[in-house]
């Protein structure tokens, strides 16, 4: 059985054919990452930010067994509805979703893979997955996002990795995978809700043209994925001490309830939103739109290169 053809939306297909900039966007944040109706509002804001910066958005999902590159407005709405029966698909799960004709929201790894198959090399998301902290009751867990970055030539524009992760270990895995981590006007790795983790990154770029030049050279030398990390704005970032207290409370709740594996990250994010009275949700929505705008600017710059 051959891989089914991608369902590339007409607007996206035309832009690719004419070699105009396109930015991939993931759909897990719609179906599983944010609550209704913030999820749909954030997805629309991300697409609008891409358009405002001169590129074409392509939100990616598997729709009734067909990988879809670019969703219609009503599809985004259906993905975000609380009653929707939508799977969460990483790269591992794509075959099952296709063969079983399921509708599935794609994670970073699955979105990267499908974007690359469609000919898109710039992708915007909130934050990448990484290495989860381990304890006596928590098994070793490395996100497939890191592995995909090591083999698929797509740049992921994000606010670093989620603050609930083991960030030093996450950067070590990226280094081992040969993935450059570029800080956009920063020397330190952003930590999603926090402007910095205090950890140094491999390279700093101070303009979008410089970022495009580095990525172009990386790909010409046979490199695969890359990360362009944009810190969350000061106005929406959380206070580090406040976040540390909220994170500890959320982790204790997860351990008490026996939450682990793929369910752990969405559980922790939901508890953090509850503890911070929605501040993490507002921060998440703001950084996704900012990342989408920067990704569109990058896609335009790469076309110039």
Q: Where do the structural domains in the chain lie, given as residue ranges?
A: 7-304
Please report the pLDDT score of residue 33 as a whole number: 87
Cα 239 to Cα 230: distance, rounded to the nearest angstrom: 17
Answer whether 22's CB lies under 8 Å from 60's CB: no
**Alpha-carbon distance values, 271 to 13, 68, 83, 192, 233 (Å):** 40, 31, 20, 16, 22
User: Consecutive sets of 10 residues in the chain, 305 residues long: mean pLDDT of each?
Assistant: 77 97 97 93 98 98 97 96 90 96 97 98 96 71 95 98 91 97 97 94 97 98 98 94 90 86 79 91 95 98 93
Question: For the chain, what is the HEC assignment?
Answer: CCCCCCEECHHHHHHHHCCCCEEEECCHHHHHHCCCCHHHHHHHHHHHHHHHCCCEEEEEEEECCEEEECCCHHHHHHHHCCCCCCEEECHHHHHHHHHCCCCEEECHHHHHHHHHHHCCCEEECCCECCECCCECCECCCECHHHHHHCCCCCEEEECEECCCCCHHHHHHHHHHCCCCEEEECCCECCECCECCCCCECCEEECCHHHHHHHHHHHHHCCCCCEEEECCCCCCCCCCHHHHHHHHHHHHHHHHHHCCCHHHHHHHHHHHHHHHCCCHHHHHHHHHHHHHHHHHHHHHHHHHHC
Based on the residue annotation, tell me whether 252 is a catalytic residue of this protein.
Answer: no
Domain 7-304 of CATH type 3.40.50.920: no
Catalytic residue among 26, 47, 148, 251: 26
For residue 68, what pLDDT is reported? Answer: 98
The predicted pLDDT at position 1 comes to 44
pLDDT at 238: 92
Q: What is the pLDDT of residue 138?
A: 58
Q: Give the pLDDT score at 20.
A: 98
Residue 37, preceding peptide bond in cis (omega within 30° of 0): yes
Q: How far apart are CA 183 and CA 231, in angstroms?
A: 8
Q: Which of 88, 148, 162, 297 is catalytic?
A: 162
pLDDT at 135: 64
pLDDT at 255: 85
Active site residue 209: no
Give me the half-sphere count of Cα atoms (radius 13 Å) on the Cβ side of residue 110.
Answer: 26
């Amino acid at each position: 059985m051959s891989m089914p053809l991608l369902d590339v939306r007409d607007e996206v297909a035309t832009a690719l054919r004419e070699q105009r900039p396109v930015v991939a966007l993931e759909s897990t944040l719609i179906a599983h990452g944010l609550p209704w109706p913030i999820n749909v509002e954030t997805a629309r804001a991300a697409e609008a930010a891409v358009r405002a910066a001169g590129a074409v958005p392509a939100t990616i999902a598997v729709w009734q067994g067909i990988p879809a590159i670019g969703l219609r407005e009503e599809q985004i709405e259906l993905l975000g509805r609380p009653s929707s029966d939508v799977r969460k698909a990483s790269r591992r799960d794509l075959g099952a979703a296709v063969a079983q004709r399921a509708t599935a929201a794609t994670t970073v790894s699955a979105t990267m893979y499908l974007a690359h198959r469609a000919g898109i090399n710039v992708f915007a998301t909130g934050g990448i997955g990484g290495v989860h902290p381990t304890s006596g009751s928590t098994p070793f867990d490395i996100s497939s996002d890191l592995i995909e970055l090591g083999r698929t030539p797509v740049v992921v524009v994000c606010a670093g990795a989620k603050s609930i992760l083991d960030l030093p270990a996450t950067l070590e895995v990226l280094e081992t995978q040969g993935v450059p981590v570029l800080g956009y006007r920063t020397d330190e790795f952003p930590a999603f809700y926090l402007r910095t983790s205090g950890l140094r990154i491999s390279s700093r770029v101070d303009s979008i043209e410089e970022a495009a030049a580095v990525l172009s050279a990386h790909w010409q030398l046979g490199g695969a994925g890359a990360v362009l990390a944009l810190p969350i704005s000061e106005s929406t970032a959380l206070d580090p001490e406040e976040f540390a207290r909220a994170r500890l409370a959320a982790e204790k709740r997860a351990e008490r309830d026996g939450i682990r594996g793929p369910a752990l990250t969405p559980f922790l994010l939901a508890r953090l939103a509850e503890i911070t009275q929605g501040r993490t949700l507002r921060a998440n929505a703001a950084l996704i739109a900012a990342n989408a705008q920067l990704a569109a600017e990058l896609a335009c710059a790469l076309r110039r290169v």
